[in-house]
Structure formats: C-alpha cells, structure tokens
Structure 1
Amino acid sequence: MKKLAKIELYQFLLENGKTTPFLPLYFETFGQSLGSAPVVVVNHALTGNSTVTGEKGWWNELIGIGKVIDLEHYTVIAFNIPGNGYDGILGNLISNYQDFTVRDIARMFWQGLHELRVQEVFAIIGGSLGGAIAWEMAVLQPTSIQYLIPIATDWKATDWVIANVHVQEQILQHSTQPIQDARQHAMLLYRTPMSINARFKRAVVFPGVFAVERWLSNHGEKLRDRFRLSAYRLMNHLLKTHDITRQRGTFAEVIQSIQASIHVVGVDSDLFFTAVENRQTVQDAQGFHAQIQYYEIQSPHGHDAFFIEFDQLISFLQPVFHTHKQLHYVNIQN
C-alpha cells in the first residue's frame, strides 16, 4: 500500500448539528503532481479504500498509465471515508456512526480538496456508495465539477435500499459472527440468481456442502479478516442516508443547480440500485439538465458488474477522459 497522506479536520459540524472535534481524512494521490494536470476524484464503495490503482488497486483496469483514466494526463485523488479503518489505527474508528450521512462525507471530501488547494475538479467518479457521495459533492459545489460520473447508484436511497440496510444492521447487531453473516447476505444483493446459478451449477465441494455455500463463507471470512465491525456499521448506515433533495427542494430544482455534465451508468441486472431507478432518474432530469446521459452495463452479474465488465465501462468513459484529457486543467489557488 502506498503511504497514506492525512488532512486533519477540526470541529467538523455534522448535518444533524453535532460537532466532531477531530477527524483524520486519509487519502492517496496518483499520476501527475497537484496543480499540473486536471484532477479526477475517485470515491470508493462500501468495502473499498483509497488504493484505486497500483499494487492491490481495486480499479487497476481503469486507472493507470495508458488506461482510460490515464495517469500521464491526470492527477487522481482518492479519499478514505473517515472510519473505514484503512489507516490501520484503531483509535480512528467511529462508534457514533448513526450521526453521519453521505452529505457529511461529501463535505469532508470537499474540505480535503480545498486544503489541497483544489478548487475545480475535472471529474468525480464512484460506484455504489462512492457514486452516492459523488452526487452529493456535485450538489455541494455545483459549479466546481466538469463531469459527474455516478455508477451503480442513484441520487437517493430508495425504500428497497433502506430495507436492505436495515436487514444488514440487524445482522451486524445480533449475529455471533456479524461481519461474515452480513457479508454473505450482501453478496446475494450484489450478484444475481442467473450469475450464481451459472457459476456453481449445484456443485458439491464435499459431502453436505455445496460450492455456493463455500463461496459465501469465503467472502464472509475474507471481509472479517480485513474489516472492522464499526467500519462496516458506518458504511452500511451511510447507504440509507443518501438524498440530494433533503432540505433543498424538489429534484428538478436541485438537478438544475449542477453545472457538470452528468454521465449516469447503471447495470441492467442490478438488484440493489436498480436500472429502472437509474433510467427514471435520467428521464426526470432531462427536462431540467441538458447535459445528462445514460449508459447501461449489460451483465448477468448484478450490482458488482462495475468491478467485472471493464470493457463496457471503459467504452462509456473513454469519450470523457480521452477526448478531453489534454484540454482541461484544474485551477489551483495560490
């Protein structure tokens, strides 16, 4: 893992009116030095982190030298959601997770960018929870982003998302092996019956144990070994707090404020943030925002397709990043 950098946030006022005396905001940068190239902010998903490329990079297929987000032409900044535990310091975990919202995280990220003297951003991109944060960042600074690219997410948490977050919370509170069990349940949302049935075909690994059962157990054990319970609770909770219209007005009013070109990417088989909701979002927005486009990943794999169907995702992103990579430059305050 690349050495993490840190910005210290003091007396941060949360959306609910409470103040957090101190929060460390850890991040990594990749590619060109700050101030010399357009900035791309990459927001991680629920179990992700700031290592978006390089050794153990979770989006290496998209970010790197010669990749669609080309590190020869861009500066990539990736923040860790405070409390995700990626810094490895137990004292930085958050116990009062229910006090935090996606909007709070978006405000923290903007404060971090301003501490780095970044006032304008070429693109903000993220999948799932990371895409929800991207939506909020765009509303908070509606004239500071050229491209908003939310993937496998939506501008709000639907009742379906809230219901599943509730079930996850119940598992995390009451299970004797909370991370493992919550992760196994989540995997059934992130994939689809078609994907799982095609992969395992009712195979048995040894008497009485199906291959699919072992696969789920392995996912649970892997997450248990690298994720803290308080971090999982925070990330899960954040998913239900997302709504760019809360205390702001109608969707039409809010979407009109965003000056960025919006590129929404859905997944046709997503069981979590459904493609139907994504299509409706774009349809509703088109009367109020001229620069919004919709792309849909075709995949049997469901929500996790944005980690799998890289060729399709690259084809959607290429017009943004390759056409414009030498034409746009970020403004840095002196």
Structure 2
Amino acid sequence: MENKLNPITIKNFTTESGVVCPVLNLTFEVFGPALHTAPVVLVNHALTGNSRVVGIDGWWNDLIGDNKTIDTNKYTVIAFNIPGNGYDKTTIDNYTDFKTRDIAQLFIQGIQFLEIDQLYALIGGSVGGGIAWEMLALEPKITQHLIPIATDWKSTDWLIANCFLQEQILNNSSRPIEDARAHAMLCYRTPESFKQKFQRTRNEELAIFNVESWLLHHGQKLQKRFQLSSYKMMNQLLKTIDITRNSESFEVLASKIEAEIHIIGIDSDLFFTAKENKETYQELKKLHVKVSYQEIKSVHGHDAFLIEYEQLNNLLADIFKGNNKI
C-alpha cells in the first residue's frame, strides 16, 4: 500500500514552557477508506517510528492492514509524524522547549483540522501511548477507545533516569546515536531475552561476543536512518510524560474520561513496568472508569509489543470486530 505525506501548517503554537513557534509543520498519512466514510483509528508512533504504519516499510504491518486486526477495509487509519522525528525531512533543534503534552496538543489540532468529531480508537505504544494518554487528558471526549500499549500516563523515576543517561550519551559521545542506541537496547530487552538469543556465544570473525556485535549492529543501523536532533527530541518526550504536571490531579482528570481504556502491559517490560500498569488499572477502576488490563507474556521486555504480534492481535481482536459505522 503506497501512500503520501500530507501537510498541516500550524501557526503561532505556544509550547507548555511558553515558547512561541511561528510555524510548525504537522505531517500525516491516511490508510484505508477516505476520511469521513468509516470509523477513524489514530496510531501514535514510538521513538524511532513514523507515520508509515502500513505498506512498504510499514512498522505495524502485522497488526494493521487489509483483513488484519485493525482492518483497513473497515477503518480509516491515520498516523501523524511527531514534529522533529525527521521522517518528513524537518527537525527541531530546540528540543528542550517541548514536552509530551505539546505533541498531544498538536495532534489534537490536527484532528480538529481534519474535522474529525471523535476517533473510534486512539492507540500507541511506548512514547506514542504516552502522547495518547496526554491527548485523552486534554480532550476526554476525543475517542471511544484508548489503547495504551507498553506505556503509562507518567514517566517514572526509573524511566527519567534512563532518559537522562541517554541525553548524556547523545550530548557527549563521539558516536552519539550508536552509543545511545546500544544503551537503549539494554532497556528495551531483558537479561532472559539476551540469554535465550546469544548463550554467551562469540563472533570469531570480530573476536567479540555475539551480544556485542548485535548491539553494534543496532547502533549502526539506527545511525544510518535517524538524525541526532530527532533522537534528542524523542528522548525528551519519553522523559516528560505526565498528564498531571501543571494540571489537575489524576483523580480529577480520570473522572472526566468517557472512553473505554484498554491497558496492555508486558510482564517483562523494564521501561514501563507491568506493576505500574496494574496500579494505573486499579486506580481507574476505583474511580469507575471503564478500564481493562491485559498483558503480553514475553521474555523480550519492552520491545515485545513489536515482536509478539500474535498475542497483541488476540488482545485487540474484540475491540475491532464487526462492521462499525460512523
């Protein structure tokens, strides 16, 4: 499925920190039926992702597409590029001026520009799910279903600490993208995942352990397709997820939610832990929000939402069944 980038020009956007951006370009792609002819699903991409969720190089082809769980015969699927992710050739150098909520505000403006009254579903993994949480906190009626995967409504101290180290590497290393990526892979996977994959084997040609050559490979691969300013921007957003910052309490925000929330955690996630997800579920349940909690079982940690497609499809199937109409 070939598609094209569509631009929206947003003028005089003021960030949460008070910085005015005279012009910001928000780009997006649309898959499936034309807008306003079918229910709309908004997909928020993760750290190294982009708007290309379906088709050639589509990063969620196993979940979204013709006759897939999110069926592009039945649903119009939209994905925005997070400004500064580099996919649309634009970058943002002043990344510290932005927080996750700013991106949520921009995405809401994009939805309004497209004259979409309400989404059928708002789905995102990792930082994309954090943006989805922020969108729902800002606009409680924006979607019928919120599906946050391997994420939460706030960045924990552990996550902030990892993002801090990532930023140190990105600002100080002589090979910033490669080295930051190598460190990040330790957080995206688990000790058990590495044990299962490598078994302490060696790469005789390079005279190093296979786990080391794998980390080098991932660093070099990302360096070829990702820009330094984009990595800094996305890391900043991962660090600043918090729907309650300079806002109302979690209880007050939750009381306004009308959407059904389907939290999907990963039992081995070291980044957004299952324990935090379960606590969020229990809090929402106490506040009488329509919420469910389901879990991907995997040794692979945070990255399991991009690996365990069969489980994810099964967990989401009921939400997207049937011939829904506008």
TM-score, scaled to structure 1: 0.95
Q: Distance in 2 between matches of 1:85 and 1:275?
A: 31
Partner in structure 1 of residue 143 of structure 2: 145
Find the aligned partners of 1:318 and 1:75 in 2 and give their Cα distance. 17
Is 1:164 the counterpart of 2:162? The answer is yes
| Distance in 1 separating the partners of 2:47 and 2:37 | 31
**1:209 aligned residue:** 208
Quick check: 2:81–2:87 contact (8 Å CA) kept in 1?
A: yes
Contact 2:3 2:30 in 1 (8 A): no
Q: Distance in 1 between matches of 2:247 and 2:288?
A: 17
Residues 245/328 of structure 1: CA separation in 2 closer, same or farther (3 Å cut): farther
Supply the AA of the counterpart residue of 2:119.
V
Of 118, 121, 125, the residue aligned with 2:119 is: 121
Give 1:80's aligned amino acid: N
Please tell me the residue identity of whatever aligns with 2:268. Answer: S
Contact 2:3 2:31 in 1 (8 A): no
The alpha carbon displacement at 1:248 in A equals 2.2
Give the Cα–Cα distance (whole angstroms) in 1 for the partners of residues 155 and 307 of structure 2. Answer: 24
SS of residue matched to 1:76: strand
Deviation at 1:328, TM superposition (A): 4.0
> How far, CA to CA, are the matches of 1:328 and 1:242 in structure 2?
33
CA distance in 1, matches of 2:24, 2:142: 24
- Write the distance in 2 (CA, Å) between the matches of 1:206 and 1:275: 38
Q: Distance in 2 between matches of 1:306 and 1:184?
A: 19
Alignment of 1:43-122 (within 5 A): 43-88=44-89, 92-122=90-120
Superposed CA deviations along residues 118-160 of structure 1, whole A, max 9, x for unmatched, are 1211000000000000101111110121000000000000000
- Structure 2 counterpart of 1:228, one-letter code: Q
What is the number of residues matched between the two proteins?
324
- Does the CA-based 8 Å contact 2:255-2:289 persist in structure 1? no
Whether the aligned pair in 2 keeps the contact of 1:282 and 1:294 (CA below 8 Å) is yes
In the alignment, structure 2 segments of 5+ residues that lack a partner are none
Q: Conserved in 2, the CA contact under 8 Å of 1:68 and 1:321?
A: yes
**Structure 1 SS opposite 2:93:** coil
- Indicate the residue corresponding to 1:18 in structure 2: 19
Q: Is the 8 A contact 1:6 1:25 kept in 2?
A: yes
Q: Which runs of 5+ in 1 are unaligned?
A: 330-334
CA distance in 2, matches of 1:114, 1:53: 23
Secondary structure at 1:247's aligned position in 2?
A: coil
**Aligned ranges 1:1-334 → 2 under 5 Å:** 2-88=3-89, 92-206=90-204, 208-323=207-322, 326-329=323-326
RMSD of Structure 2 on Structure 1 (CA): 1.0
What do residues 184-235 of structure 1 show as CA deviations (whole Å, max 9, x unaligned)? 0000000000001110111111163111111000100010000000000000
The answer to whether the Cα contact below 8 Å between 1:120 and 1:144 also exists between their aligned partners in 2 is: yes
SS for the counterpart of 2:42 is strand
> Which SS does the other structure have where 2:107 is aligned?
helix
Contact residue 269 and residue 275 of structure 1 kept, 8 A? yes
Give the secondary structure class of the aligned counterpart of 2:60: coil
Greater displacement, 33-42 / 245-254: 245-254
Could you tell me how far 1:311 is from its partner in structure 2?
1.1
Identity %: 55
- Matches of 1:303 and 1:144, distance apart in 2: 27
Could you tell me whether the CA contact under 8 Å between 2:62 and 2:309 is conserved in 1? yes
CA contact (8 A) 1:122 1:328 kept: no
Residue 327 of structure 1 aligns with an amino acid whose one-letter code is N
The list of structure 1 runs, each at least 4 consecutive aligned residues, that deviate by more than 4 angstroms after superposition, is none
Contact 2:74 2:324 in 1 (8 A): no
CA drift at 1:251 = 1.2
Contact 2:266–2:274, Cα closer than 8 Å, also in 1: yes
